[in-house]
Structure 1
Amino acid sequence: MTYQLPATIASAHRRSQSFGLRANLRPDFDPLSLSALSALVEQNRMLYSHAVPAMETLYQQIANTHNSVLLTDARGVILHSLGDADFLEKANRVALTPGVNWSEESKGTNAIGTALAEQAPTTVHADQHYLTANHFLTCSAAPIVDHHGAVIGVLDVSGDRRSFHKHTMALVRMSALMIENHLFAATFENAITLHFHTRPEFIGTLMEGIASFTPDGRFLAANRNGLFQLGLSTPALQAHSFSSLFGMPVSKLYDHERSAAPGLLDLCMHNGVRVYVRAELRLKHGARRLDDAPTLPSPTVPKQPERANLQALNTGDARLAQAIAKVDRVLGQGVPILITGETGTGKEWLAQAIHRDSPRARGPFVALNCAAIPEALIESELFGYEEGAFTGARRKGAPGRIMQAHGGTLFLDEIGDMPLALQARLLRVLEERKVVPLGGAKPLAVDVELVCATNHDLRRRIADGLFREDLYYRLNGLVLKLPPLRERSDLDALVGKMLDGAHRQRRVADAVLHLFRRHAWPGNLRQLATLLRTASLMAGDEDEIGLHHLPDDFLDDLDASPLKPRPAAAPDTKLDDLELSAILRTLNAHGGNVSAAARALGVSRNTIYRKLSRTSQQSPAGRTPHP
């Protein structure tokens, strides 16, 4: 049977041929002179100085395994290498040494050159190398990027093909991320730098997001994990500030810095995700760090229903009640549960309720969102790692989410987004009830109840080759489908329940509830909770949330997006009248000043003009508002 090269390697081979290279080409033994290499290292001083300590730590993990650790510049020229003496001797035979260019143009398909060409982590094993002379090698390389996202170098582990280990690429990628984090932290001197993560224990590790801002709060840059958690590209973030991204004026950050014992901040990002933040102020007058800050309470803000049991989630919708009844019949029976439904329909809330009503309620509930963690980190998050398994690892290692859930419930959200390679490892853990941490060799026994969730059609993912069929049948003991919010019959009860979670009791105006019933709610429960939080902040000391407390974008979306089927009677007409009445009263109160009225209502001037124009067009009499 003919061996078929992976697509990435096949493309690299085609490029190698286009460069005019021959597979039997002899290795290039013409490295840079010592003076030229020294000059090149000096040109890459920042990269070199932050990479070498990481390389030394990485080498300690692979010592005596016939491997070497290499660092190159952005063109693929090797700047530095560390390795076992016996392997370095073999590496010298193929010019795998400092001062030599290992781009694809020079050496054909190889991990360094192909990682640069693809701008992605790459493993090239044995005869996947284009040059026959390099077939004895197995190499794993990851690009290193600067704060602009530009590739500035490559970190590589190369060794004897017989020493290939599946964990090598994970170690290389994690070490490259740590180098990037160190470079990022050293780049911005006169700036506010935030270190953030949804879990406080991961602040200060390579899993944290990092973002820097000018002293007045304008966005400067973010590292890879920062971009991932913020959910925006660097160009999109250029229009943002600290306050627009983290919902807190920069002045309050400075106030917090002046407190006697500043520590981790608990903030809500623009996308509704709550994160813990450690802030570091490196200003011209001197650096100040904000460590381990107290939570900033928001007494008037409604909270999402957390740690509720199953019956507490049953607020009157028939489909949800049916799903809860099914769960009741299998609790404690070892049946895996798969929850499906659109994003934001409350899959994690249901998973938490299942845990609280199960015989494992006294054990831990551990959640992992497979779509919210970069692929380079999800393996260590799920399976954990041993001491010194990669650069930046904790001194005593760390248990993964699976081991953290021992004796309790493991909730894997967005399971459909788990990388294929990890799906195979997860299946093995579920079947053997044992887990092997990254960098470890001894299997550890584990006892967990499994609940998974996805917004994907897993059967379609299987057909597309993105999800393992054997894992699918291992997960779907009981399948529950949560209805989207627009189809639920208990909207009013949900609103009341979310508001009950706040310290201040509020009610919602009838006109607002009418709007809620018309809305399509593409973000489902998560969108509703965020909207109520914002409206509660706008309401301040008022006891009722009115139309003028709703965010402008919600009203705009309501007009622009497809709505739920409307009742045949006149409630919509009544609602339009209520809106117009509120606008006219506010215009009267401000002497016809549209800008002042818009500010009072919390909407844009365009919204007021549009409402007045539409009402005028619909009215035969062409109603004219009071100026």
Structure 2
Amino acid sequence: MRNDAQTIGSLTARESGWLTPSIQKAHERSETFGLSASMCPDYDVLTHGELRMKLEQNRVLCAHATPVMETLREQIANTQSMIVLTDAEGLILHSIGDDDFLRRAEKVALKAGANWAEERQGTNAIGTAIAERSATVVHGDQHYLAANRFLTCSSVPILDPYGDLVGVLDVTGDHRSYHQHTMALAKMSVQMIENHLFANTFRNTLQIAFHGRAEFLGTLMEGIMAFTCDGRFLSANRSAQFQVGLPLAAMRAHTLSSLFGLTTPQLIDRLRASLGHHITLDLNNGTVVCANVEFRRPTLGGEGSWPGGESAVGTRPATARTQPVRSAPVVNAPSRLDSLDTGDPQISTVIAKVRKVLGKNIPILITGETGTGKELLAQAIHNDSPRRAGPFVAVNCASIPENLIESELFGYEEGAFTGARRKGAVGKLLQANGGTLFLDEIGDMPYPLQVRLLRVLQERVVDPLGSSKSVPVDIAIICATHRNLREMIVQNRFREDLYYRLNGLVVKLPPLRERTDLAVVIERMLQSMPCDETEGAPLRVTSDVMALFEECAWPGNFRQLGNLLRTAAAMVDDDGELRREHLPEDFFDDLRSGAALGARSAGATLPLMSTRLQDVQASAIAAAVARHNGNVSAAARALGISRNTVYRKMPSLCAGANPHGDD
């Protein structure tokens, strides 16, 4: 049981009525950690040796954050405050500020080597920003521990270019001298740090910096996107995500062509015609932006690494933003597979299987419906593999015209065919040398080309078109398809020998309607949206809307869900609560048509137009369960819904049903 001081401290804070919902949640978490408001904080500080090790593990973050912290200190000098940098766990790595306030802060261990996670220090801006993954202010008595209530803290999470949390920047001062502009300064500083990390991560890429107004180019307001030389999307900073209106997770499904409406060669032609001035580009949301473009050749790589043999074509000179900085040891990079494990047992099983074959030269075949995240899994496998330092090259076999896919894969020599580029071109297979080749929609690869691919897998050599020389290649292969390759073999549309070369490990990603972690997935997608640009509350979904989401069949899977959430997020009010009135009408049309189709397939005879949607759903589920002899899994598959939806809608019917049947 909690002691009286703990109870009184908690109730006093809540009854005051000025705690925000996120701070109230943080107080509740503090209670569950067993903390007492009157207790002495955890002042366990790392030794110098332990701190040096942590600084080495986070040296890239520190290298980019320290200069920004110094600039910020000049802006807030003589304000009885300090600036703190932590790692992703809340461990303070570095702090600077006014000397007299630093001495006061040391009394509560607000110094390098101390951990300010919520479970150690209760509700505080650093720990709560990590827990909520959003910018957080904790002012005076809002701190859970009484010892920290002389402080006011403004903390902003720092994300790496992959969207993962790597640290927190915090400005802490005396609660009597709090200024509202402090959070704005902290956010601007974090944006600078993130842009520096972005430039360091994607040094050898095609980068486009853009904004709707030319005067904002070269400022913190510009959006920055990075692509491979063939136009595959790599990443985008927060400003780019905000301007495009897509979270980073959704942008990974795009390319240069789908985002800006032009290919890499067309972009080069546009640059050459600009005569050194910025160019205008059309975003896929209809916005016209001004842009500067950089092509930067990789340090190691021969002719043809960039289209047309360009080494550095662009309208922006190389600046400090693109200067190389030593990378952190690969061993410290966060696991991408871990980030995909959001609690669904099927996904956890897939990840567990994949981990067992990492680095063992076993090809992986990913199956599943369109939009279930196959390329995201392939990228995560590469990032967690021993080949993570090498390239990850993705080829969508369904999106390349049949007459071009051979030259795209194998490359070609100069003059190999009419229209071939001068000096030829390096194919995807050789671009992936030393890394991973991801062949998406492998079932759409032309049958004659499958023979050539089989030879590459068997002999590990590539024969570019028009060349008399075979080039050795060292690649890991990951393939994906939504098709049934075994059926295609029977139909003579897919080679059996190639199939058995590709399916070393076969894993299946479940469709969204069969996943049990929908709420977690939606929460993460909302968190990844650049909503903090508007100072609004974090987006959250009401329980009745979440119930509707769980009823939806989501035939478009993550693409459909992402588009719906972006549309709804644009409609929410200042409270950040996503309600039924924010959902587009076609979503309800999809729900009704899905229920009608389910009812007809189950043999229901109710007059659908005059029956409430809930009744139609219940009737359809009851009929489907009956038709499948009580097999809930089979009934759910027939209706295109999850087992959880069946149990929720018909609890009495399913009490004695077999949840798996013969599955």
TM-score for the superposition, normalised by structure 1: 0.47
Larger radius of gyration: 1
TM-score for the superposition, normalised by structure 2: 0.45
